[in-house]
Structure 1
Amino acid sequence: MFYFPAEYFLQVYSLPLIAEVRFQKDYFSEYPQQIRVGGERTAVSYTRKPGYYAIHYNQPSTVPPGAILQLNEGAIAVFPGEPNKSEPGTLSPIYTVQPNGSLAIPTGLVFIRFAEGVDVESQREVISRAGYEVAQSLDYAPNAAWLRAQSGNIADAIAGISQLEAIANVENVEPQMLMERGFRL
C-alpha cells in the first residue's frame, strides 16, 4: 500500500477556481429602474426591485401558491423569484418606495391634475396625442382624471409620464402604485 502526503494531492489535483457568472435575464427591461414623481418638496421615488414580480389577473382569484402578497381583492399577486412568461395574466415588476422600502406595484393607471379652471374634457385631444385615454373622470374634481396608455400596456403608461407632464397647465402626474395597507398604532 502506498501513502502519499496530502500536499502531493493538493499540488497535483488542485485546479484554479473559475467563478461562474450567470446573468439573470431582465424580464422588465422596458420598465424604468427608477420612477420619480412630484415636486421638489413632495417628491416620491420608486426603485425597481429585482427578484420579485407581480401578476395582474383579469379576474380576482384565490391566493396562488407562492404569493407573498395579494392586492386589489385578489386581482394582483406578488411573487419572489423570476416570472414564468406563460403565467396567466399581465406581468409587471415590483418597485420599492424610497426611503422606507415598501413594495409598490404599478397598475397601469396614471393620475393627472390640471390647474384650477382647466377641465379634463377640454384636454382630451392633447391627452390622446400623448398616448393616453381617460379611464375615469372624477365628478368631484373636473380638473383631474385617471388615465391609461392607449396601448393598455403598463410599461407604456409609465414611460409616457414625461409627455403628460409637458402638457400646458398640468400641475401633477403620477402613476398609481398599489401598496400593502399599513396600520398605524
Structure 2
Amino acid sequence: MIEFFLQAYSLPLIAEVRFSSDYFSEYPQQISVGKDAVSLFSQQPGYYAIHYKQPNTANSTAILLLNEGKIAVFAGEPPPTITDTISPVYTLPGGLLAVPTGLVFIRFPENIVVESQQAAIQQAGYEIAQILAYAPHAAWLSAKSGKISDALQGITQLKAISNIENVEPQLLMERRQR
C-alpha cells in the first residue's frame, strides 16, 4: 500500500538551477595592489559587474555605474541570460566596491622602453594595449585571451619579468568627494 502511494503521488524531479559559490572561481579571491602590496582587495560575494560593450546608463537596478555606464554593479547572482562580460566585484577593507577592467598597468625603469620588452610581455600572456606617450617606460596591457580573469591570474608572470618596477590591475571604484 505504501509503495503504491509513493508511485502514484511521486512528483517528477525538476532540475534546479543554482549558481555555486565558486561562480567566479577563475578569478583570484584577493588582489594585492601597489609596489609593496599595500592594498588588498577581496572578492565580495553577493555582487557582480556587467561590462557592456556600449554605455548603458538606463539600468535602474544597478547599485553603481562606472566608466560612463559601461560597467554596472548589481547585488545578487548574475542572471543566466546575460551575454555581456560578467566579473566579480572586489572590496577594500573599508567596504569600497572595485571592479577589474581587464587592463594591467606595468612600469619599467625610465631607461627601458616597454616596446623593448614586448617578447617577455607576450610570453607572460599579454599584449600591449597602450603605451603612455608621456612615459614610454609604462603601458597598459590586456590578456591575449581578452578575458578579465586571465589578466588578473597572469600578474605573477608579469612581476617575474626582469627590471619591472610596478605591476597592478586597473580597478574602477566609485568617485568619492573629500
TM-score, scaled relative to structure 1: 0.83
1:171 aligned to which of 140, 146, 165: 165
Aligned residues: CA RMSD: 1.5
Matched, 1:92 2:87: yes
Residue 158 of structure 1 aligns with an amino acid whose one-letter code is L
Aligned-pair identity (%): 63
Work out which structure has the larger RCO, using CA pairs closer than 8 Å and 6 or more positions apart in sequence.
2
Q: Distance in 1 between matches of 2:143 and 2:20?
A: 29
Matched, 1:153 2:151: no
1:46 aligned to which of 41, 52, 75: 41
Q: Distance in 2 between matches of 1:23 and 1:80?
A: 14
1:35 aligned to which of 27, 31, 34: 31
Task: Report 1:5-24 matches (<5 A).
Answer: 24=20
Matched, 1:101 2:103: no
Shift in Å, 1:24: 4.0
Shift in Å, 1:86: 1.7
Q: Which consecutive aligned stretches of 4+ in structure 1 deviate over 4 angstroms post-superposition?
A: none
Shift in Å, 1:65: 3.4
Q: Unaligned regions of 5+ residues in structure 1, if any? A: 1-21
Q: Distance in 1 between matches of 2:172 and 2:19?
A: 29
Shift in Å, 1:100: 1.7
CA contact (8 A) 1:60 1:74 kept: yes
For residue 121 of structure 1, what is the aligned residue in structure 2? 115
CA contact (8 A) 1:94 1:103 kept: yes
Matched, 1:70 2:65: yes
For residue 141 of structure 1, what is the aligned residue in structure 2? 135
Q: Distance in 1 between matches of 2:45 and 2:62?
A: 16
CA contact (8 A) 1:57 1:89 kept: yes
Secondary structure of the residue that 1:50 maps to in structure 2? strand
Shift in Å, 1:23: 8.2
Mean Cα displacement is larger for which, 149-158 or 99-108? 99-108
For residue 126 of structure 2, what is the aligned residue in structure 1? 132
Change (3 A) 1:139 1:32: same
Residue 157 of structure 1 aligns with an amino acid whose one-letter code is A
Q: Distance in 2 between matches of 1:67 and 1:102?
A: 16
CA contact (8 A) 1:48 1:94 kept: yes
CA contact (8 A) 1:63 1:70 kept: no
Matched, 1:59 2:54: yes
Structure ID, larger Rg: 1
Q: Unaligned regions of 5+ residues in structure 2, if any? A: 1-17
Q: Distance in 1 between matches of 2:54 and 2:91?
A: 25
